[in-house]
Structure formats: structure tokens, C-alpha cells
Amino acid sequence: MNGFQQILGQPHAVGLLQRDFVQGKVKHAYLLAGPGGVGKRTVALAFARTLFCLQPTEAGDSCGQCRNCRRSDHGQVPDFQLVQPEGKKTIGIEQIREIGRQLGLKHVEGGPRVILIDRADRMTTDAANCLLKNLEDPPAGTVFILTADEQEMLLSTIVSRCQMIRLKSLEHQAVQQILERQSDLGPEQTRQLAELSSGSVGDVLEKRQQLLEAGPWMDLGALLAEAGVRQEALRLAETLEKVDCLEELLGSWIVDFRNALMASVLPAEERPICRESLEDKGELFLTEGLALLLDMKSKRKQNVNARLALDVMLQRMFDALEDNRGGNHGRR
């Protein structure tokens, strides 16, 4: 387990947990909800480490040096119980019944007991109903921490008995910093992966190879400029249709066009960094390009034919680029 100081990109969630700890107002149950791969389990483990720490800091973090912190680092805390989906599928009733059996026993060391249910949204109906009984009247000194990617899959009665803490998608900079810690990739590769991420480190690591292969297609402004003629733009559509991570590329292009549009209208000191290929493009082109990208993303959710949608998007974007080259006086 790592302490709160090592966690990047979730200051709101960390701050709420530290506040409860420092004020002596730790709740009997917490629900950490948010997109997959944004650090819910990491935050939960850091909180558990703090609860077990023998010399916590004034800010509400674990010291990292005491006997319990060292044991936490090696997963050897007797009064800590982790429950997670079996075979990455579901959490069954027997797993929850085991929690009940443990609750009937005395704490091994007289301190708190922490039960972390990771991916609680994957509990079966029977398991969820069984857990509800434990949440209604937990023994003193017991803290439940639940994590969920899809909160709506949990019983509303379980949600109502927990202190809700929402975690958000990570900023690209935070994703890059985490990747630099966790992988053997170089700076350029981690930057590329972060730009293609949807704010989830977990998704990036799972799709690492596909995302790295998307490198040649990340700069849409440069691709359109290199196409030169409409026919080449159509060939580009044919190529992009076969890219495994088109969804991530769309997200990255949207960010690029949005940043470039903001840079074209904001004062110099407030302009975000944008791709060089989009710096000299006019506001009209960037506005139309952004609208086309957002429409393409919407069509993807509606399962519209990818090749057809790409053809239309790139043709219109190429025409808009030609208008931009002509000084916005019309296509030449």
C-alpha cells in the first residue's frame, strides 16, 4: 500500500478522507465511485494504511515507517480484509458471508478492522443483500470501503449507507506522471499514451500496445495538410478505419482542436498549449473541425458505419481546410 502523498490526480477524494481522519469523524462505510482505472483502489488502500498507522501525520496520512505501515506494504495486516471479483467476474454470496463470519470474531490486534470490497458493483444480488445486513449494524471499529465503476449497479440501500466520494477522470499530466512511475517506457511514449488516454491509467496499461501503434495518426492537422488533395483524404479514412484505438484518437483530436480554438481567441497569457499544425488555422476551420469530430464521436456511440462516417468527416474537414487556405474567401 502507498500513502496519500504518492497519489496523483485525486486531491478532492484524498482531501475528504484525510479530513474525516484528522477530525476523528471516520464513517463506518465509504463508497469510492468513478470511472475505471482512475485510482479508486489505490485511494482505498492508502486510507486503510492511514487507519492502521501507529504514528499518522497531522495532515492525515500514514507515516510509512511504523510497524503497521511496513506490514501494510507487504499485505500482512491481520485486521484487513480484501474482497474482489473471483476470476474478474462477480463477487458471490459466500465471499460476503465470510465477511460476516470475520465480523463475529474479535479484532486480532485491538485496532480498527478494514474491509475493502473492490468492484462492489459486481456483487450478485444475493451477495449485495447479504452485505446490506452487515452495513446496517457493523461492529464498532469496523470500516467498510467499497469501490465501484458503475454506481448504478449497486443497491440504492447500500449506496445510502455509505459516505459517497466521487473520483474523476485524470488529467493527461497526471496520467503521464503515473505511467512514468509504473512502466519502462520513455518520456515520449508516456506522453503519447497520456494524450490518448481517456483519463484512465488502467485503460492505458490494458491497451498499451495498440495506443503506441497509433502514434503516426495523432496529429490530425498534419495528416490533413499532408493529404494535399481530397482523394488522399479518402485514403486516410480507409487507413484510420483499421486502427484499433480509433475511439482514443477521436478523444485526442477533440482535445487538440478545442485547445487550438481556445488559443485562437484567448489572450496570450491564457492560451493553452496546442499542436503546431493547428496554430495558424482560422477560428472558422477550428470550430467546424471540432463540430465534425464531436459528431463523429456521437456517431460511433450509435454504431454508425465507421468507414462511411470517416469519409464524410474527413471530406468536410478537408474542404474546411481548403477554405482556410483561401483566407476564408471560399474554396479554390
Give the angle 145-123-12 at the CA atoms, nearest 5°: 35
Percent of the chain with pLDDT over 90: 39
DSSP assignments along 203-268, one per residue: HHHHTHHHHHHTGGGS-HHHHHHHH-SHHHHHHHHHHHTT-TTHHHHHHHHHHHHHHHHHHHHS-G
CATH number of the structural domain 4-166 = 3.40.50.300
* Nearest in space to 136 (alpha carbons), one of 106, 162, 154, 165: 162
Give pLDDT, residue 229. Answer: 66
- CB neighbours (10 Å) of residue 276? 10
Q: Give tens-digit pLDDT for 216-270.
A: 888 888 888 887 666 777 788 888 888 878 888 888 888 889 888 988 888 877 7
Q: Which three cell numbers stand for residue 58?
A: 497531522
Q: Which residue has the higher pLDDT, 200 or 69?
A: 69
Q: Which residue has the higher pLDDT, 186 or 77?
A: 77
| AA identity, residue 288 | E
Highest mean pLDDT among 84-88, 231-235, 282-286: 282-286
Does pLDDT of 300 surpass 70?
yes
Residue holding cell 454508425?
304
Does pLDDT of 36 surpass 80?
yes
Does pLDDT of 328 surpass 70?
no
Q: What's the whole-model pTM score?
A: 0.71
Confidence label for 60 from pLDDT (cuts 50, 70 and 90): very high
Burial class (CB in 10 A: 0-12, 13-18, 19+), 122: buried
Confidence label for 282 from pLDDT (cuts 50, 70 and 90): confident
| Phi/psi of residue 87, nearest 5 degrees | 60, 25
Give pLDDT, residue 88. Answer: 67
Percent of the chain with pLDDT over 70: 95
Does pLDDT of 34 surpass 70?
yes
Q: CA-CA-CA-CA torsion for 137, 141, 142, 147, nearest 10 degrees?
A: 120
Q: How far apart are CA 48 and CA 43, in angstroms?
A: 9
> Which residues, at least 6 apart from 303, have a Cβ–Cβ distance to it below 8 Å?
none
Q: How far apart are CA 296 and CA 250, in angstroms?
A: 8
Does pLDDT of 296 surpass 50?
yes
Confidence label for 84 from pLDDT (cuts 50, 70 and 90): very high
Does pLDDT of 130 surpass 60?
yes
Q: Give the largest CA-CA distance in the chain.
A: 82
Give pLDDT, residue 3. Answer: 86
As a whole number of Å, the end-to-end CA separation of the chain is: 62
Confidence label for 325 from pLDDT (cuts 50, 70 and 90): low
Mean pLDDT, to the nearest integer, of 20-34? 95
Q: How far apart are CA 294 and CA 261, in angstroms?
A: 14
Does pLDDT of 44 surpass 90?
yes
Does pLDDT of 121 surpass 90?
yes
Question: Buried (b) or exposed (e) across 27-42, using 16+ Cβ within 10 A?
Answer: ebbbbbbbbbbbbbbb
Residues 100, 117 contacting (CB under 8 angstroms): no
